[in-house]
A and B are shown apart, each in its own frame.
Chain A
Amino acid sequence: MLKVLDTAELGTWVEAIIKAHDVIGIQARADKFDFGPLAKVQDLRLDYDVSLNAPKRFFLLPDEKLFTFKKDEAKSAQAAEPFVLFGVHPYDLIALRQLDKLFEMDNPDVHYLSRRAKAIVVAVDVQKPSAHVFAGCLGFEHVEDSYDILLTKIGNEYLADAATAAGEKLIALGKGFTKADDTHLAARKKIWDENKQALRRHELKPNKAQITAQLEKSYDHKIWKEKARLCFSCGSCNLVCPTCYCFDVADRLNWDLASGERVRTWDGCMLEDFATVAGPHNFRNQREARYRHRYYRKGKYVPDKIGEFSCVGCGRCIGACVTHIANPVEVYNAIMEA
């Protein structure tokens, strides 16, 4: 369902949504933007460049209780609450789509999936490119599925594309929506084309297939060592990444030392002990091996698994790395030169 709303009417609509739902919305935070509980419509900032934190944190929680246990019994702690996630950029939505695939595979992850199933996602096309975004180089500047509603600002109007019944219901909360026509679709196509060019703050030379193929023969490339020299193994590049999904699981005992809870917390392959197994044996104890692994995950291992390139070009890792070595564009350009 395609509708159009005058930007002047957006506030009333969002207000109605806030009244009816819990809303996590994009808003200003210090000199940046981030997602958080949206208390009032004035805080919503659809003109943002990039959110400090990727929206994955509302589905794969940084710290999460999985279940509580007593001697011979366990009780699931699963409790997904419905909410509206308002203002997700296309590249971040593509990242969520990838996580959906990964968490549905093999042993479906009920904790992640039940949150996803209950959430209504309102995506918005990018209005202002961030400092490091390169999603345009990857074709991830726009998205054509996986949203409940996609909003695109066209002049003084928002085109609202509701793709699901939940999305249509949200639109029904608004007043002043009018019918869209072909000119709106053409205008949106034009914005997608423009964003393909604008969301290229770093220029990736190879295409996705070329990167995956080149990684096949880049295991001993000198870049891994060169870059890893300055690596803290701090995991910041993992944890800010919208497509990183690794976690660790641990038990927290109560004072009776018999009952307790099982929790999971974010983990990352750059961390020194990530690959430590019983023994203890660490099969990636070299910084450069861990450094290399992340680029293989994004460019080859996950693509081999789900058929999609697993860096969406959000640029967050580039900004988060204190030593400025985490830029996938630099690395993938370099391996092409062999």
Chain B
Amino acid sequence: MDRPRVAIFDFACCEGCQLQLYNLEEGLLDVLGLIEPVEWREAISDQSDSYDIAVIEGSITRKEDEERLKDIRKRAKVMIALGACATIGGVNKLKNQFDFGEVRRTVYGKDAEAPHLDTARVKAVHEVVPVEVKIHGCPIDHFEFGTILKSVLAGKTPSIPNYPVCVECKKKGNICRYEYNEVCLGPITRAGCGAKCPTGGFWCFGCRGLLDNPNVDAAKEVMDIYGKTVDDLSGRLLLFNNQS
């Protein structure tokens, strides 16, 4: 079998997820033995290009990015969203909370009105085009990336958890942050990171996005047990799970 052609494209992000790929270390050589990388970090140049797998990093923040993404989609058999910016919009979605004119003035000062600095509502990749595989996290976990890529290359459906971070947290045997009246997003956040934050003694920020069927109402309703308010919870949700 020919090695599948794999292209990676960047949109609005910090490129930290791509950096995680280098953490595969020897695994990276294995990956390169199995795939043929094309378009590493470059925009589409040759209009006839097609890809077996297109990996999209970053969220979609401008009209022209939407067009570019749709074009990539047409040429890709499988589309993988890489990292929180791509899978859920990520931190970039904080912008959707504000008036865009104000956002531009804050960031660019007197140049704010320049046409090329136009901005739009931040979207995750699947809000623009269909996505076959989501690799969650901010940043992604390179081990999970490897597991998912192997599944895709073997023609299997990758298993991406639809259970909350609490499961991995309990497997680790951690003390729950709620024992200390801290608001942790673990019960509504998709697992897969190995409960990194609670294991390190912090609450979960929700970087892997919400579960398919999160009980956010329950989370709100129990805040007072912990001397917290619904606003405390909503504030935490804004960072990675702004639904606007």
Contact = CB atoms under 8 A, between A and B. Distances in A.
Interface stretch (B57-65, B70-78, B157-165): B157-165
Interface stretch (A189-197, A208-216, A232-240, A305-313): A232-240
Contacts of A167: none
A231 B163 contact: no
A30 interface: yes
A287 B211 CA distance: 14
Contacts of A229: 218
Contact of A272 (B27, B162, B172, B173): B162
Contacts of A254: 150
A252 B158 CA distance: 11
Nearest to A319: B179
Contact of A231 (B150, B171, B176, B218): B218
Interface stretch (B14-22, B36-44, B219-227): B219-227
Nearest to B170: A239
B49 interface: no
Given A29-B175, A52-B173, A236-B166, A255 B34 contact: yes
Contact of B222 (A230, A235, A272): A230
B219 A232 contact: yes
A218 interface: no
Nearest to A57: B173
B176 A320 contact: yes
B225 A324 contact: yes
A34 interface: yes
B146 to A, nearest CB: 8
Interface stretch (A13-21, A143-151, A263-271): A263-271
B218 A230 contact: yes
B222 A323 contact: yes
Tell me what chain A mostly uses at the interface: helix, strand, loop, or mixed.
Answer: loop
Interface in A83-107: none
B102 interface: no
B166 to A, nearest CB: 4
Contacts, number: 97
Contacts of B128: none
B215 interface: yes
A234 B167 contact: yes
A109 interface: no
A272 B211 CA distance: 10
Nearest to B156: A253
Interface in B191-222: 211-215, 218-219, 221-222
3 nearest A-B pairs in the assembled complex, by CB-CB distance: A255-B30, A239-B170, A62-B171
Interface of B: 27, 30-31, 33-34, 146-147, 150-151, 153-154, 159, 162-164, 166-167, 170-173, 175-176, 178-179, 186-188, 211-215, 218-219, 221-222, 225
Interface of A: 29-30, 32, 34, 52-53, 57, 62-63, 229-236, 239-240, 250, 252-255, 257, 265-266, 268, 271-273, 287, 319-320, 322-324
30 contacts: A32-B175, A52-B175, A230-B215, A230-B218, A230-B221, A230-B222, A231-B215, A232-B219, A233-B163, A233-B213, A234-B163, A234-B166, A234-B187, A239-B170, A240-B170, A250-B159, A253-B154, A254-B150, A255-B33, A257-B34, A257-B150, A266-B167, A266-B170, A266-B171, A268-B167, A272-B162, A273-B162, A287-B215, A320-B176, A324-B225
Given A234-B164, A236-B166, A322-B187, 11 more contacts: A32-B175, A52-B173, A230-B221, A232-B164, A233-B215, A253-B150, A254-B150, A255-B30, A271-B167, A322-B178, A324-B225
